[in-house]
Chain A
Amino acid sequence: SQQGEEDPQALSIQEGENATMNCSYKTSINNLQWYRQNSGRGLVHLILIRSNEREKHSGRLRVTLDTSKKSSSLLITASRAADTASYFCATDAGEYGNKLVFGAGTILRVKS
């Protein structure tokens, strides 16, 4: 079953603006990961944040994790048209095999 819930479901912004996507989950986790998927393509790993971390940066990406609220956010700063894609959070509960449970995803459209 899906663990992660993401909001918004869809987000449309102008190039140069920031985009914020949120993810909530239900159980304890080992880590939480964010992925990007361009239409009809595979997934690209963006960033991983562990349960003992609160914030992580990678280029224009900033991820926060609040384990007390079981939520995470992904911020993309100074968005570009090429950032247009679906973004998924995925939780790793550290169970056998380190399987990932994906959220429903946010469709981001950056208009140039």
Chain B
Amino acid sequence: GAVVSQHPSRVICKSGTSVKIECRSLDFQATTMFWYRQFPKQSLMLMATSNEGSKATYEQGVEKDKFLINHASLTLSTLTVTSAHPEDSSFYICSARDILRDTKDTQYFGPGTRLTVL
């Protein structure tokens, strides 16, 4: 149980285009989802906290107009990288909390999406 999927796993796009990444909790309800970015050989940096039915909370330095987050249901959150540039190339990982489980403090991570902007 507690499986989180991401789609796509890899995406290559041209500079200036927008890319949408989906994060789904497959067997539990996730009122809160998190989006992280990881550059090569570095740690995960939290970008934003996504709450179902409300606006996302962005970390300092993360442009909310560039990284659009929508958490429309209890099982789906999307991250759209708008007008992508090569410096946005990174590994994007989502995670979700299952508030109904005893392990509600645990976040379950998706497999990540490798974005390459040419």
Contacts of A59 in B (CB 8 A): none
> CB of B32 within 8 A of chain A?
yes
Chain A-chain B contacts (Cβ-Cβ < 8 Å), number: 62
Stretch at the interface among B11-19, B80-88, B108-116: B108-116
Binding site for A on B (CB under 8 A): 6, 32, 34, 36, 42-46, 49, 51, 57, 91, 93, 95, 97, 103, 105-112, 114
Report the separation of the CA atoms of residues A2 and B97 in the bound assembly, to the nearest whole angstrom: 21
Report the separation of the CA atoms of residues A88 and B97 in the bound assembly, to the nearest whole angstrom: 18
Report the separation of the CA atoms of residues A99 and B42 in the bound assembly, to the nearest whole angstrom: 18
Given contacts A30-B105, A48-B105, A96-B57, contact A101 B46 (CB under 8 A): yes
Interface size on A, residues (CB 8 A): 24
Report the separation of the CA atoms of residues A41 and B91 in the bound assembly, to the nearest whole angstrom: 9
Within 8 A of B (CB), among A28-54: 30-31, 33, 35, 40-45, 48
Contacts of A102 in B (CB 8 A): 36, 43-46
> Which residue of B6, B49, B91, B109 is within 8 Å of A45 (Cβ)?
B109
> CB of A110 within 8 A of chain B?
no
> CB of A100 within 8 A of chain B?
yes
> Which residue of B36, B43, B91, B110 is within 8 Å of A40 (Cβ)?
B91
Output the least CB separation between B21 and chain A (Å): 13
Q: Per-position contact with B for A83-112: 1 when CB-CB < 8 Å, else 0?
A: 000001000100011111111110000000
